Amino acid sequence: DVKVTQSSRYLVKRTGEKVFLECVQDMDHENMFWYRQDPGLGLRLIYFSYDVKMKEKGDIPEGYSVSREKKERFSLILESASTNQTSMYLCASSSLTGGYYGYTFGSGTRLTVV
């Protein structure tokens, strides 16, 4: 069964800490995405990557960075965590199939910054 795996289900971090969220997919997908989901705001795209070492900013990249050193792994980095980054973080991957892209989501990481 194909999977997108996020390393942590729940995380609690302190303000100012550097936080790493890891995402691994086993589907050989080219594209990987990081979203955050907040009540009333829906899913908002933080960053995405379309190839190893390639990345593009999404709609809300401030305070975040990403790393994609290998095709299967896409990491989201909070350089200095703040309380307004408390959220559910969702990783997804996609590939072009039949002319269209489909997403597979990971199970999510609920991050609390205190």
Site string for another protein, 91-110 (x = CB under 8 A): ---xxx---xxxxxxxxx--
| CB closer to another protein out of 69 and 100 | 100
CB atoms within 10 A of CB 16: 10
Minimum Å gap between C-beta 65 and another protein is 18
Question: Should residue 50 be labelled a site residue for another protein when binding is judged by CB under 8 A?
Answer: yes
DSSP character at residue 84 = G
State the nearest-atom distance from the C-beta of 92 to another protein, in Å. Answer: 8
C-beta of 12 vs 96, nearer to another protein? 96
As a residue count, the chain comes to 114
One DSSP character per residue, 4-61 reads EEES-SEEEE-TT--EEEEEEESS--SEEEEEEEETTTEEEEEEEEEETTEEEE-S--
CA distance 34 to 32: 7
Q: Which is nearer to another protein, 4 or 81 (CB)?
A: 4
The residues binding another protein (CB under 8 A) are: 30-31, 33, 35, 40-43, 45, 48, 50, 56, 58, 90, 94-96, 100-108
